Structure 1
Amino acid sequence: MATIKDIANAAGVSLATVSRVINNGPKVGDKTRERVKKIMVEMGYRPNANARALVTQKSASLGVVLAELLDPFFATLAHGIETVTRRHNVQILMSAGSIEKKTELKAIETLLEHRVEAMVVHSKALDDDTLIEFARQVPGFVLINRYIPEISNRCVWLDNVAGGRLMAEHMIRSGHKNIAVISSRYQIVDPIQRIDGIRQAFEEAGLSLPESSIEYATPDQEGGEKAIQNLLAKSIPFTGVLAYNDAMASGAMSMLQDHHIDIPGKVSIIGYDDVLLAKYCRPKLTTLRYPVEMMAAKAAELALQYASGQPPEDGVTFKYTPTIVKRESVLTI
């Protein structure tokens, strides 16, 4: 494999000149720059990203902190980021935060150790002040799926209150009055906001949502099964279920079918996220489309934009709104 010395010899220039070309530095004429680049291509030379970081104190990478790496939601989020980094020829350094304060902090600090200056962070456990401080330290620091007013133009976020309202309004318009909610047990803002939206829709319709009709569990299929099992054990009457996400909805559907409860004949259900799983449930799941891939691409573009010293105008925010996707799991009664 060709080295920087080989390129310098072939081009008849100094090592410093080749280094400047590699790092887009000044003091190199256009003709010389093009000649060196041409020779690099001909000799198959590829700059070492780690070595470049040592010289420039910067990394040609975008750091990403996700809650989980295997969850379909976060896989879709990662794919949205990857479409941007591929276009910009930037590598991804990815880490999991696991919705735990210490783990999220370690994930961000690890990226900083790699001199990452563009970073998309999904953080639910760290407090606002810590994230605001990181935004001051890291040029391209961007939050996804979280809103902090002090750094609002670095936040790409979803209106979860509106999402909760939408799913409740659709279930109520379909004629359902006895509606249960299965939600995430994690003490983060998303489930709180979605239930706030649900309560708003209930109040406007003159309905109540007693605490006994809300079950909390892990936001996965097993959690959905457990939540429905608890509702059935308490003999809570319901003809509709609003689920925190599609995974919980899928688990709930499985438990209901195990109890020979027809969907949507006896119980209608709405999920949230519109991950691929929703299309392959039986019946196909009515859900809220979370434009996570679009949001992730925007967050990646924004992080690279900040890192390059070109921030958006002051006062610009990046709020997204979910939309209802009607399939087969809701029956009008």
Structure 2
Amino acid sequence: MATIKDVAAAAGVSVATVSRVVNNGPKVSAKNRDLVKKVMLELGYRPNANARALVTQTNPTLGLVFSELTDPFFATLAGGVEKVTRNNNIQLLISNGLVSAESEKRAIETLLEQRCQALVVHSKALSNQALIDYAEAVPALVLINRYIPEIAHRCVWLDNQAGGEAAARHLLSLGHKNIACITSSYDIEDPRLRLEGVKSVLSEEGMPLAEHAIASSDPNEIGGEIAAQNLLARGLDFTALIVYNDSMASGAITVLCDNGYRVPEDVSVIGFDDVLLSRYLRPKLTTMRYPIEMMAMEAAEMSLALASGESVAPIHKYVPTLVKRDSVSQPKD
């Protein structure tokens, strides 16, 4: 593999001149610049990104921190960010936060060590103050799926409580009175807010949600199975089930069907996120759409704009919308 010294020798210029060409530096004649680029192409020389970062103190990259590599929700998030970086000829670096404060901190620090010029961070475990400190130190850091009032203009977030409220109202409008919930066991704000939304609507209608009608587990297909099994084991008489996300909903539907319940004839099921999976379940899943790809693209564009010294809009709030499919119907008489 050719080195910068090889390029300099072949072009008959100094290593410093090659370095200036690589980093678009001044004090290089047009003739020498063209010559060096020609030799670089002939030799197949590719500049070392880390070496270039030492000169510019930045890297033409956008760093993304998120939680679960295998979760379809986060795959969609990463896909939205990648579209923006690809359109802007920016390299995307990804670091996994694993819903742990220490891991999230390490993920952010790793990307900063790579001198990323922009950061999009999905953090659920770090404290508000820790993220405020990072935002003050990194002008182009943008939070996704997190709202912190002190840095609201750097947050792209979803109103999770409004999503829970909308799901509950939809079931009530169809005549459901016995509603159960499956939620995530992760100690983060999303499941709490969605559950608060459900509880507030049911309480307004004089049907408070009992604690034994709530089951929690890991926010994946297996967790949905476990939570649904726990609800059935309690002998509950429910006609509708609100589930934390679509992955858990798919596990819950499997358990219901395995135990002789028809969906939606016996039990209606409504999920959250509207990931690709929801369209291919049988029955197709009614869910609350989380526009995560759109949000991810906005967060990436914001981060790149901030990295360029541009201003951004002050509010970046999204609201979930109901997607009606086949897993919800009126309760049997």
Answer yes or no: same fold by TM over 0.5: yes
Matched with 2:238 is 238
Q: Secondary structure at the match of 1:331?
A: coil
Q: Kindly tell me: are residues 304 and 174 of structure 1, through their superposed partners in 2, closer, same or farther at Cα, counting changes over 3 Å?
A: same
Matched residue SS, 2:116: coil
Q: Which stretch has the larger CA shift, 48-57 or 255-264?
A: 48-57
Report the equivalent of 1:255.
Answer: 255
How far apart are 1:81 and its partner, in Å?
1.1
Deviation at 1:20, TM superposition (A): 3.3
Q: Secondary structure at the match of 1:153?
A: helix
1:330 corresponds to? 328
Q: What percent of counterpart residues are identical?
A: 58
Distance 1:48 1:169 in 2: 56
1:86 maps to: 86
The yes-or-no answer on 1:318 pairing with 2:316 is yes
Letter paired with 2:323: V
Name the counterpart of 1:67: 67
Cα displacement (A) at 1:94: 1.3
Deviation of the 1:261 alpha carbon: 0.4
Measure how far apart 1:38 and its partner are.
Answer: 6.3
Change (3 A) 1:9 1:192: same
Q: Kindly state the Cα deviation for residue 139 of structure 1 after the two structures are TM-superposed.
A: 2.6
In the other structure, the counterpart of 1:99 is 99
* Number of corresponding residues: 331
Q: 1:310 to 1:10 in 2, by over 3 A?
A: farther
Please give the alpha-carbon distance, in whole angstroms, between the structure 2 residues aligned to 1:83 and 1:54. Answer: 27
**Structure 2 partner of 1:179:** 179
Equivalent residue number for residue 189 of structure 1:
189
What is the aligned partner in structure 1 of residue 203 from structure 2? 203
Letter paired with 2:68: E
Give the RMSD, CA atoms, in angstroms: 2.2
Once structures 1 and 2 are overlaid, which stretch shifts more, 20-29 or 166-175? 20-29
Q: Is the 8 A contact 1:117 1:139 kept in 2?
A: no
CA distance in 1, matches of 2:16, 2:134: 34
**Which structure 1 segments of 5+ residues have no match?**
none
CA 1:289/1:42 → structure 2, altered by over 3 Å: closer, same or farther? farther
CA shift, 1:6, in A, is 5.7
Q: Partners in 2 of 1:83 and 1:46 — Cα distance?
A: 24
After alignment, is 286-295 or 303-312 more displaced? 303-312
Indicate the larger mover: 100-109 or 304-313.
304-313
- SS of 1:167's equivalent in the other structure is helix
Q: Shift in Å at residue 131 of structure 1?
A: 0.6
Contact 1:125–1:188 (CA<8 Å) still a contact in 2?
Answer: yes
Residue correspondence of structure 1 range 139-288 to structure 2 within 5 A: 139-288=139-288
* CA distance in 1: counterparts of 2:192 and 2:24, whole angstroms: 48
Distance 1:200 1:28 in 2: 67
**Distance change >3 Å, CA 159–CA 249, structure 1 → 2:** same
1:183 aligned counterpart, secondary structure = strand
Query: How far does the alpha carbon of each residue in 1:164-218 deviate from its partner, in whole angstroms, 9 at most, with x for none?
Result: 1111111111211111010011111101111121123223433321212111111
- Do the aligned partners of 1:117 and 1:141 also contact (CA within 8 Å) in 2? no
Question: How far 1:251 sits from its partner (Å)?
Answer: 0.7
Give 1:226 shift: 1.3
Are the counterparts in 2 of residues 185 and 216 from structure 1 also a CA contact under 8 Å?
yes
* Post-superposition CA distance 1:107-126 (Å, at most 9, x none): 11222222223111111111
Return the alpha-carbon distance in structure 2 between the equivalents of residues 32 and 155 of structure 1. Answer: 46
Task: Report the TM-score, using the length of structure 1 for normalisation.
Answer: 0.91
For 1:2-41, what per-residue CA distance to the aligned partner results, in whole angstroms no more than 9, with x for missing partners? Answer: 5545655777765444433432334556787667656655
Work out the CA distance in 2 between the residues paired with 1:171 and 1:90: 45
**Is the Cα–Cα contact under 8 Å of residues 181 and 213 in structure 1 kept in the other structure?**
yes
For 1:290 and 1:31, locate their aligned partners in 2 and report how far apart those are by CA, in whole Å: 54
In the aligned structure 2, how far is the partner of 1:30 from the partner of 1:148? 49
Partners of 1:32 and 1:318 lie apart in 2 by 47
Structure 2: 5+ residue stretches without partners: none
CA contact (8 A) 1:221 1:250 kept: yes
The answer for the alignment partner of 1:137 in structure 2 is 137
> Which residue matches 2:23?
23
Deviations 1:297-330 (A, max 9, x none): 11111122222222325xx121111111111000
1:309 corresponds in structure 2 to 309
Give the Cα–Cα distance (whole angstroms) in 2 for the partners of residues 209 and 128 of structure 1: 30
Q: In 2 relative to 1, CA 116–168 (structure 1 residues): closer, same or farther, beyond 3 Å?
A: same
> How big is the shift at 1:92?
2.0
State the Cα deviation string for residues 235-291 of structure 1 (Å, max 9, x = none).
Answer: 121100000000110111010011010000100000001111111111110011111
- Does residue 117 of the first structure (1) align with residue 104 of the second (2)? no
**Match of 2:262, as an amino acid?**
D
Q: 1: distance between equivalents of 2:311 and 2:20?
A: 26
TM-score w.r.t. the length of structure 2 is: 0.91
1:202 & 1:36 partners in 2: Cα distance?
A: 71
Letter in 1 for 2:70: L
CA–CA distance in structure 2, aligned partners of residues 305 and 45 of structure 1: 31
